[in-house]
Amino acid sequence: MKVAVVGAGAIGAFVGAALHRAGAEVHLIARGAHLDALRRDGVRVLSPRGDFTARPEATDDPAQVGPADYVFLGLKATSYATSGPLVHPLLHDRTAVIAAQNGIPWWYFHGLPGPHTGHRLESVDPGGAVSATLPPERAIGCVVYAATEIEAPGVIRHLEGTRFSIGEPDGTVSRRCLDFSEAMRAGGLKCPVEPDLRDDIWIKLIGNISFNPISALARATMSQIARHPDTRRLVTAMMRETLDVAARLGSRPGISIERRLAGAERVGDHKTSTLQDLERGRPLELDVLLAAVVELAELTGAEVPTLRAIHAVADLLNRTTAGAAAAAVTAASG
């Protein structure tokens, strides 16, 4: 099995190291000091389950890798539309693209029976740019339940969780999913093949859609949000609205709001990825989280006033932050 990891950051390098440990041919595509460290020292994984080092190939040029059986995307969803130069040299006729993303994926309605089959969401696939770069028929969905971070270039700190649920958009249990699952399990990770991955998408999304934007707006950790009475009520309202949209699309994720809140509270003073991106001046990954569900509410006729309000404010924050970052770059270059 030949696997190329595009965006070998915290999650991508962690998965690549596990697959390499299992005997797969793995190529990590990264850049900068992180790439230099990967080439020099390999991937050093620090984990409560046991530290280990893996030495897969690492490069910044996918053309050197050539076609692979699987492309594992560790990129932010905001980069998918422009990822063609990184991904296309890695494709052959049967290459599967495994997108480890939060939120609603661009392939959501691909292979989904019902009135919305093949529908394209403008918020996650603007103008069809993502589908043109990453054809939905190549996609294998992936919901990540692991938490990792780059502690230093080439060093991945595994915090918790080893589950990577995968599934075909059309709900079949395919050979390509089973083979990838087996390789992941051989590397020490959990990788169930789910007949309906969309339920997993919504289970994770009800947390991301609420905690992520609020954490950025309030500069607060997950436990701070969960323990503050008013923000706890706000999160509850956002989760209820999100579950209503999911139900109108035929998904009924098997988790209660109270259980999701309790889980967030147990995480402690953890900064969401959205808050971390804000602090680093990066674009906020809000379209696939908030904007997509607001668009789905319009499609299904759901009332989502709380989601709309938070989306409006969070979107403004994203735009002003991006404007400030662009101005800083211009000033520095001038």
Q: Which residues have a catalytic role annotated?
A: 204
Can you tell me the distance from the alpha carbon of 231 to that of 244, in angstroms, rounded to the nearest whole number? Answer: 20
Q: Is 86 left (phi over 0), alpha (psi -120 to 50) or beta?
A: alpha
Can you tell me the distance from the alpha carbon of 159 to that of 97, in angstroms, rounded to the nearest whole number? Answer: 26
Cβ-in-10-Å burial (0-12, 13-18, 19+) of 95 comes to: middle
Tokens of 123: 């918020």
